[in-house]
Amino acid sequence: MVDDPDTLLRSAIARQDITSTTRLSVITAHKPVVGGGTANTAVLAGGPDGPNAVAATVTSTFWLERLAGERRASQLQYTQNMLLNFNGLSWPHITVATLRRTA
């Protein structure tokens, strides 16, 4: 799963007839300049003793999908891979999901 987290997304759509897809990819890195890079949450930023971790890079891909018989897109799939640096150790944090409109 770590090598290919999109396996879960492909499994979720295996029996669906997707007629159109809009894809958006975003890649950024930690650059401590105004308006650039990732923003670390307070828990990552830490306190007077320094940060707990640093979100070094974030890669996200979103797929907005329309299924057969639907007039508009009703499904959003995404993969997010964040590389967190903890005291010299890099650790991947991966999130994938399939979201469906219900109304």
The domain segmentation of the chain, as residue ranges, is 6-100
Residue 16 vs residues 7, 66, 85: alpha-carbon distances, Å:
15, 10, 38
Which is higher by pLDDT, 40 or 15? 15
pLDDT digits (tens, 9 = 90+) for 20-34: 999 999 988 766 656
Dist. CA 58–CA 11, nearest whole Å: 24
pLDDT band of residue 89 (cuts 50, 70, 90) is confident
Provide, for the chain, the percentages of residues in helix, strand and coil under a 3-state DSSP scheme, each rounded to the nearest 5.
Answer: 10, 50, 40
Average pLDDT, the chain: 86
Which is higher by pLDDT, 86 or 18? 18
Contact 13, 21 (CB under 8 A): no
Sequence-distant (6+) residues with CB within 8 A of 21 are: 63, 64, 65, 66
Q: What is the pTM of this model?
A: 0.78
pLDDT digits (tens, 9 = 90+) for 43-64: 677 778 877 777 788 899 999 9
Strand, coil or helix: what is 6?
A: helix
Dist. CA 82–CA 94, nearest whole Å: 6
